[in-house]
Copies of this chain bind each other. A is one copy, B any other.
Amino acid sequence: MARIVQKFGGTSVGDIERIKNVARIVKRQVDGGDQVTVVVSAMSGVTNDLVAKVRAIAPMHDAREYDTVVATGEQVTTGLVALALHEAGVAARSWQAWQIPFRTDDAHGRARILGIDTARLEERLAEGQVPVVAGFQGIGTDGRITTLGRGGSDITAVALAAALRADRCDIYTDVDGVYTADPRIVARARKLDKITFEEMLELASQGAKVLHTRSVELAMNLGVRLQVLSAFTGAPGTMVVDEDEIVEQHVVSGIAYSRDEAKITVVRLADRPGVAAKLFGPLAEAGINVDMIVQGGSEDGAHADMTFTVGKADLLPALKALEVRKKDLGYHSVVHDSSVVKVSVIGVGMRSHAGVAAKMFSALAERGINIQAISTSEIKISVLLSEEYTELALRTLHTAYGLDAA
């Protein structure tokens, strides 16, 4: 007997038929002799509809009331899934965060987990009942409903899996696992059987949408074995595991891309000590994350061009922050470009293999693709390219690193 947490996302519970399908998946696991706890998201579209109602009434809404309204989406799903399980002959009961309780701090809209009292759930599990837990929500220290922010239901599932000492946390979604690259772009992309936490984390932060960074990080820190799999195909998915569980190591495991980047170049910045701090300080203060940074000298040696990227949503605030400091920073002008893509190759094998970056640069150069910026970490190399090269670059690199399906 294993203890499993199964999490079903919005599309997996998107309508009545799909909720019945979820009940069949859970029943199969229960019939196999496992102890199962289910975590559910709101039916797809429901949260957006609730958020739209909140915004129509109060554009600058009180986060506590926002949480009270949007948390109802998951509550509805818990009841419906429990009913579908009853129909399938499986004992089940819905659980809201306040009933468990699943305790968080009071940072409404982006609450942090303080602790989960599993005693009541353990009692039900021992009786053979399947708890159906509302994802995304918590109960604050002030006794009010909180929500966990983006990727919230995955976070609920992972935290619950850790608290219940589950053998595995299965994240059911609308894709059947983690791929070497986006299969909509790279036809020869392969599903990975296994991937390490660190790689998954880099993939998620570099643009792969299958799991949210925060839930992967949490799983890694709490030692929760994750599986990403499809609620529709029944095929085995991708296991996210510790590095030592990976037997056959590829140098590169996957390639991610993100179009959510904008490039800013500050032209002819006075090149004196401390100028970088002066430039990036105000951006940090404005809550703007700067990603790739390239500093280039200028002909006179007294000035430098500084190029960096920010998220597309941060472009205008960043330009504004630079504009108000123009006199102080003493630059000539600022140019920007939103038609860029960040392409990243990721793999823990890079640590022990040289020449990974060189292969990337030469493969792109052979195709005539110009690299506008580079950033690296221990297990990742990212390059900034002109957006129109996205597909060509992904396919080229996929082949170059030997990832193509046979």
A interface list, Cβ under 8 A from B = 16, 19-20, 50, 53-54, 56-58, 61-62, 64-66, 68-69, 71-72, 75-76, 78-80, 82-84, 86-87, 93-94, 96, 98-99, 143-144
User: In the complex, what residues of B have CB within 8 A of residue A99's CB?
Assistant: 143-144
Query: A62 to chain B: which residues have CB within 8 Å?
Result: 82-83, 86
Partner of A84, one of B58, B143, B144: B58
Asked if B79 contacts A68 (CB within 8 A), the reply is yes
Enumerate 28 A-B pairs (CB-CB under 8 Å) in ascending A order. Answer: A16-B57, A50-B76, A53-B80, A54-B79, A54-B83, A57-B83, A58-B83, A58-B84, A61-B83, A62-B83, A64-B93, A65-B79, A65-B80, A65-B82, A65-B93, A65-B94, A66-B79, A68-B75, A68-B78, A68-B79, A68-B94, A69-B79, A69-B83, A71-B75, A72-B72, A72-B76, A75-B75, A99-B143
Closest-by-CB residue of B relative to A49 is: B76
Which chain B residues lie closer than 8 Å to A86 at the CB level?
A: 58, 61-62, 65
> Which residues of chain B have C-beta atoms less than 8 A from A93's C-beta?
64-65
Contact residues in B for A65 (Cβ distance below 8 Å):
79-80, 82-83, 86, 93-94
Of all chain B residues, which has the CB nearest A87? B58
What is the bound-complex CA distance between A87 and B50, given in angstroms?
Answer: 18
In the complex, what's the smallest C-beta–C-beta distance from A55 to chain B, in angstroms?
10
- The reply to whether A16 and B56 form a contact with Cβ atoms under 8 Å apart is yes
Q: Within the assembled complex, what's the spacing in Å between the Cα atoms of A87 and B54?
A: 11
CA distance A75 to B53 in the complex (A): 13
B residues in contact with A71, CB < 8 Å: 75
- Write out the residue numbers on chain B whose beta carbons fall within 8 Å of the beta carbon of A75: 68-69, 71-72, 75
Alpha-carbon distance A61/B80, docked complex (angstroms): 10
* SS of A interface (majority): helix
- By beta carbon, the residue of chain B nearest A134 is B68
- Cβ of A61: which chain B residues have Cβ within 8 Å of it? 83, 86
Question: Are B16 and A53 in contact, CB atoms less than 8 angstroms apart?
Answer: yes
Would B20 and A57 count as touching, CB distance under 8 A?
Answer: yes
Distance from A374 Cβ to chain B, minimum over Cβ atoms (Å): 46
Q: Which residues of B contact A50 (CB under 8 A)?
A: 76
Contacts of A58 in B (CB 8 A): 83-84, 86-87
With A50-B76, A99-B143, A144-B99 as known contacts, state yes or no: A84 contacts B68, CB within 8 Å: no
Closest 10 CB pairs of A and B: A69-B79, A72-B72, A68-B79, A58-B83, A65-B79, A16-B56, A65-B82, A57-B83, A65-B83, A68-B94
The CA-CA distance from A64 to B16 in the complex, in Å, is 19
Give chain B nearest CB distance to A56 CB in angstroms.
5
Closest to A16 in B: B56
* CB of A342, distance to nearest CB on chain B (Å): 38
A57 touches B72 (CB 8 A): no
Query: Which residues of the other chain, B, contact A56 by a CB distance below 8 angstroms?
Result: 16
Asked if A76 contacts B83 (CB within 8 A), the reply is no
The smallest C-beta distance from A32 to any residue of chain B, in angstroms, reads: 23
Distance in angstroms between the alpha carbons of A76 and B42 in the assembled complex: 14
Report Cα–Cα, A65/B87, bound state, in Å: 12
Q: Which residue of chain B is the closest to A69 with respect to CB atoms?
A: B79
| A19 nearest in chain B by CB position | B57
Q: In the assembly, what is the distance between CA of A96 and CA of B71, in Å?
A: 12
A182 to chain B, nearest CB (A): 34
B57, B84, B144: which contacts A57 (Cβ < 8 A)? B84
Measured between beta carbons, the chain B residues less than 8 angstroms from A16 are 53, 56-57
Chain B contacts for A87, CB-based, 8 A? 57-58
Q: Which of B68, B76, B96, B143 contacts A53 (CB 8 A)?
A: B76
